[in-house]
Structure 1
Amino acid sequence: MLGLGATQLEDDMHRLLSSLFHQGVLDDHFSQLQRLQDHDSPNFVVEVVSIYFRESEKLLTTLRALLLERECTDYKKMGTHLNRLMGSSSSIGANRVRNVCVALRTFSERSNRAGCINSLEQLEYEQCLLKSKLHELFQLEQQRLMASGLGYGYHSIMLD
């Protein structure tokens, strides 16, 4: 039975998730990811999301470096990195991040450097927003577990 604090925290989690789905930040792939978490792997979602952010930040750094070269001509290489980022974003349900990746890929296919730079800035914004909101969600879940007397479900909430 959930305590009063735990119930409030669970309600807060549901409101935050509903908001993220309504705003298009997340899609059903995130729900599918959550369904894969069970008693045997209580940190599954946090672990997958942490790996996603580590890898996606490397990809964003690479994309920025490619675009900041004086003569950015390797748009095909950008496309390879974007495809990886789109796939991993899609697999965790990062809908708006994936959508901006699609726009960035379109600009890169057209060798439109200005469009690429603008899209990359939007991509970095969306990535930061996603990270912040998921961190908030995971903190609420950890607090809910503590309030319900279940202890720590997420041993480490590290979305560095």
Structure 2
Amino acid sequence: MLGLGVDRLRADMNRLLAMLFHQGVLDEQFLQLQQLQDESSPNFVSEVVNIYFQESEKLLRNLRALLMDREFSDYKKMGIHLNQFIGSSSSIGAKRLRNVCVAFRAASEQHNRAGCLRALELLEHDYCYLKNKLHELFQIEQQRVLAAGVRYPIQQIN
């Protein structure tokens, strides 16, 4: 009976991943990241993705602050933030976010404030979507691990 639950959860994970790939949200880099996870680092992917989300939220705040400044003219600084966002999105396989950042950077290079504002809205929307879907994926994975009865060493907190 336990195996059926594990199989169902694995199938749920696969369906969710397939949907994210089909929608262009993720690319093969995410699969490569998953391959780095093993029993010695069972939470590797979620830890890397959580660091990505923490850094991305800082970048989003910085981009919004730059664009909300009435005297805004520092497109170079915006480009630096966007390059960071592009690189980190690429490293975890966040294909759609990377592509939105590339379009955002193009608007920035053209000093197109209205285009930058539209791109920021889209970036924030797609960021929230990715964050929610990966959170869902990690929850299913956690349930699958528990259902499989896999035991990892408990770390003592001092």
TM-score by length of 1: 0.93
Residue 3 (structure 1) aligned with residue 3 (structure 2):
yes
Residue 78 (structure 1) aligned with residue 71 (structure 2):
no
Paired with 1:99 and 1:150, the residues of 2 have a C-alpha distance of 38
Residue 151 of structure 1, CA deviation = 4.5
**Residue 137 of structure 1 aligns with which residue?**
137
Say if 1:13 and 1:140, in contact at 8 Å, map to a contact too: yes
Say if 1:142 and 1:152, in contact at 8 Å, map to a contact too: no
**Residue 50 of structure 1 aligns with which residue?**
50
**Residue 41 of structure 1 aligns with which residue?**
41
**Residue 102 of structure 2 aligns with which residue?**
102
Taking only the aligned residue pairs, the percentage that are identical comes to 67
In the alignment, structure 1 segments of 5+ residues that lack a partner are 156-160
Say if 1:145 and 1:152, in contact at 8 Å, map to a contact too: no
Q: Which runs of 4+ in 1 moved over 6 A?
A: none
The size of the alignment, in residue pairs, is 154
Distance 1:152 1:21, change over 3 A: farther
In the alignment, structure 2 segments of 5+ residues that lack a partner are none
Paired with 1:48 and 1:14, the residues of 2 have a C-alpha distance of 20
Residue 73 of structure 1, CA deviation = 0.3
**TM-align CA RMSD:** 1.6
Distance 1:31 1:2, change over 3 A: farther
Residue 2 of structure 1, CA deviation = 6.1
Residue 43 of structure 1, CA deviation = 0.7
Say if 1:146 and 1:152, in contact at 8 Å, map to a contact too: no
